[in-house]
Amino acid sequence: MSKNRRGFTIIEVVIFLAITSVIFIAIVLGTSNVMSRQRYNESTQNFAEFLRGIYSKLTSIENHGDGRSEKAIYGKLVTFGEKYNLDGEENTNNEVFAYDIIGDVSGVISGDNILSTLTKLNIDVVKNEGGKVTYAGIAESYSPRWMARIERTNDHELYRGAVIVVRSASTGIINTYVLKNEPDDHTKTIEVNQTVKANSTEAVFRNALNKFSNTTAADFCLYSEDGNIYNGYRRDVRINANARNSSGVEVMPLDDLTANACKKL
């Protein structure tokens, strides 16, 4: 008794391979997109946590870490877009830097202007000892996760600017100041590492104190090289105007265009 056996035709094989290829590509692209979003969101949240950590470190005024009781830590200077890193090399990795603001323990602390009052306590982020300019306290660096870029709100230019988070010498209340520029486009920063590298005695930080304001927020737009993850929108990490604690750092929602200051590109 004979049986007829029918195999696959060439056309059926081609159709099968084509469908399988389409499904495979869809799975790969879908997985890649999910991973890109996870990485991007992780870099955004990690950056926000870095900023919140600045406030957490200022829960109390401490004596300076090198044992000199006549000096105290009054705050942190956070800089964006410096030319050099802590090793004196070009800052090619989009590093952000945080410096202890060190000042005298005692002195004239009267007055309503917190920065002016702290200036009387000789606050600075660098010191000159025996002709050698070094950091006055701890200097730290932060690199955004997954090669994310911290950019300005209106374009894809690198964010350059500075934020001071400082405790009032008289009340102990934390205040936040953002560097103002002319115009306020965040194209300038405080070049602390360049000062140390050049062993310069120029009072770069102290001379810029009158350019800081506590009445405006700071918006940082996170950009990912992974592409248009959210249809061209970027996440906005904001330090609210004169934030008092870590709750003043927010990751703004993407679906609220009135809240998200990062323009779609």
Query: What's the pLDDT tens digit per position in 91-102?
Result: 998 999 999 999
Residue 3 inside a domain? The answer is no
CA 164 to mean position of chain CA atoms: 13
The answer to whether residue 262 sits within a structural domain is no
Q: How far apart are CA 47 and CA 38, in angstroms?
A: 14
Predicted pLDDT of residue 13: 59
Is 260 domain-assigned? no
The answer as to whether 4 is a domain residue is no
40: pLDDT confidence band, cut at 50, 70 and 90?
Answer: confident
Q: Within a 10 A sphere around the Cβ of 40, how many other Cβ atoms?
A: 23
Angle at the Cα of 125 (from 119 to 126), degrees rounded to 5?
Answer: 110
CA 240 to CA 217: how far, in whole Å?
5
Q: What is the mean pLDDT of the chain?
A: 84
pLDDT at 226: 63
Instruction: Name the residue among 67, 51, 50, 132 with its Cα closest to residue 102.
Output: 67
Number of domains making up the chain: 1
Q: What is the pLDDT of residues 111-133, one digit of tens each?
A: 668 888 888 899 999 999 999 99
Report percent pLDDT > 70 for the chain: 78
pLDDT at residue 10, as a whole number:
72
Distance from the Cα of residue 221 to its chain's centroid: 9
Range of the domain at 224: 10-252
Compute the average pLDDT of residues 44-60.
Answer: 91
Read off the pTM: 0.84
Q: Is 5 within a domain?
A: no
